[in-house]
Amino acid sequence: MQRRRVGSLEVSQVGLGCNNFGARLDQEHTTEVVNAALEVGINFFDTADIYGDTQSEVFLGKALGSRRADVVVATKFGMPLNGGGGAHPDYVRSACEASLRRLGTDYLDLYQVHFPDDTVPISDTLGALSELVAAGKVREIGCSNFSVAQLKEARDAAGEGPHFVSVQNQYSLLDRSPERDGVLALCEEWGLGFLPFYPLANGLLTGKFRPGEPVPEGTRLALMPPERSVHWLSDEFQRRVEALLTYADEVKVPILSLAFSWLLSHPSVSSVIAGASNPQQIAANAAALTTLSPEQLDTLNQLSS
């Protein structure tokens, strides 16, 4: 599998989102998924302290074992957890130590601010992250859910010190807000790696979901609380999914391939991070990449706008 850059890191174009670990998957099944990912050339594993109520990091660390040095591990901090959270320097330091301990490693390849914390000056947060980089505990730093204004503020505050090399925001054929809010353009201008989350729109773009039919049992959407699933099952999303499925049938390219390959047609997108609950999904994700023609890209842009 080909790789792209995130700062000094080289990551596989398809990454593995680890939010199922410790939640839907136990240690045995987590290890099966991790092994399957490594077998197909996936080297980028994205987790967070909050995933699986801290167990995602634990399960991932155990699954990797002696292969830790062969992969790129990204994790996040800042969301409410065990009475803590946020981006205060003291919390940044303690959260990092906790993640290192759970992962069973002495360094993090990419450490990301999970969500902006308006109560703490970004310069303070970056100061703590800079200390972690200097100590060799973190190789690169990134952020998630940041706006253009917040990215610019962070850039200015970083000065000559370590700065964010990646931005992880929602982006898919069903949510193209990074194009409208300027984040994607800024990533291209500054050379930041864009890491889209929800690239398959919580399963709507996997091919398993068919508008007008019951949501397949056991899927993320089926397990989602009604107050959240109502957003993804809206009439507007179903209309667009139906149009994309029809086009996928016309060009004989699975909608999964269209979703992944469209994202990677954007040079700033470094890796498409998708979750998986079994080795079969890993194989499908890894095999999904294809080169889309300019005409196909134009049509996808029209259908998803």
Q: If DSSP codes are grouped into helix, strand and coil, which group holds residue 56?
A: helix
Interstrand relation of 108-113 and 138-144 (parallel, antiparallel or unpaired): parallel
> Given 3-state DSSP classes, what are the helix, strand and coil percentages for the chain, each rounded to the nearest 5?
45, 20, 35
Q: Give the Cα separation of 96 and 77 in Å (integer).
A: 8
How far lies 31's CA from each of 18, 35, 92, 287, in Å? 11, 6, 28, 20
Within 8 A by CB and 6+ apart from 156, the residues are none
Q: Give the Cα separation of 74 and 84 in Å (integer).
A: 20
Residues 222 and 302 sit within 8 Å (Cβ to Cβ): no
Beta bridge partners of 167: 143, 194
Instruction: Give yes or no: 51 in active site.
Output: yes
- Kindly give the residue spans of alpha helices, DSSP state H, lying in the chain: 27-39, 55-64, 89-103, 122-134, 148-158, 177-180, 183-190, 220-223, 226-232, 235-251, 255-264, 279-286, 294-303
Set 51, 91, 111, 247: catalytic member: 51
Amino acid occupying residue 190: W
Catalytic residues: 51
